[in-house]
Structures are given as structure tokens and as C-alpha cells.
Structure 1
Amino acid sequence: MSDKLFSTRDEPLASADLDVCRRVHEALCIELDIDRGSEKAEKIGALIIELYRQGVHDEHQLHLMAGGRHA
């Protein structure tokens, strides 16, 4: 099978990667007053992971790009 069919975006996230995404998600849910079990929180979580997979690894940038306010 060709390596071109797979990209780094298809690789599972490591524990440290997930920790970054989790911290950003928790901060956004608090900032935006969103219940972490809600559909909106799920969508924000998916967006954070997608941004991370696209190469946005800085927590502050993830926070802003996922809908957070400029601190």
C-alpha cells in the first residue's frame, strides 16, 4: 500500500498531545460557560483536535482559533 494514502493527520495523538488539547478544551468551556458534556463542547473539542492535527500546537493559538477571547 502506498505511503501517500496516509498522512501525519491520521496518526493517533500521544498522551502529551491529548493533554494540550484537554487543557485548551477545559479552558474554553469555562471561559465560554459551556457544559463539558454538551454538543457544543463536543464540537469545540473536535475543532481543537483538528487544529492540533493541522499543526497548531501552541495552547494560546489553539485557544484563540477555537473561539477563545484574546487574553
Structure 2
Amino acid sequence: MIPTKFGGYVRRHFDHLDSNDLNICQRALDRVLAKLNFAKDSEEAEQAAAVVIHLYQRGVRDEVRLAVLVSAARGP
């Protein structure tokens, strides 16, 4: 399930992602939120979602790699 802010961000900025793309990004975001202990409805989650989408669109298609890159950029 896509968090409200993540889904809203995607709908506003990246309509061309298909359901498979969104599933990969969602799983990556879920990993990031769990690792960094961010609430799904937090500002931090929205920012992490934006970074996941940005990296995905730049060619990072592996959910584990996405999560590692975003987590490394966001926290310890």
C-alpha cells in the first residue's frame, strides 16, 4: 500500500510510472522507513519517497539498491 504522501507525490509528478514501477519503489521506500524508523505519514517519508522516485527514474531499478542509497543519504 502506497502511503498517502508517497502516492500523492507520485500522482502530482510522475504519472507515467506503471504499477510494477510503483511496487518496486514502494518496497524500497518501506525498507527505508523501517531502517530509519520514519513514520509513513511524516515529512521525512515524503522526502525519502521523492529520492526513491528520482533514483528510479535515473536508472536504479533494484529495490535493495534503492533502499541502500536512500538510507545512506538520509541517516547513519
Structure with a larger share of its residues in helix: 2
Q: For residue 32 of structure 1, what is the aligned residue in structure 2?
A: 36
Q: For residue 6 of structure 1, what is the aligned residue in structure 2?
A: none
5+ long unaligned stretches in structure 1? 1-9
Q: For residue 55 of structure 1, what is the aligned residue in structure 2?
A: 59
Q: Which of 1 and 2 has greater Rg? A: 1
Q: Which moved more, 1:42-51 or 1:56-65?
A: 56-65
Indicate the RMSD between aligned Cα atoms, in angstroms. 1.5
5+ long unaligned stretches in structure 2? 1-13
Which TM-score applies when normalising by structure 1? 0.76
After superposition, what is the alpha-carbon deviation per residue over 1:17-41, rounded to whole angstroms, capped at 9, x for unaligned? 0000001111111111100100000
1:39-50 paired onto structure 2 within 5 Å:
39-50=43-54
Q: For residue 64 of structure 1, what is the aligned residue in structure 2?
A: 68
Aligned length: 59
% identity of equivalent residues:
34
Moved over 2 A (4+): none
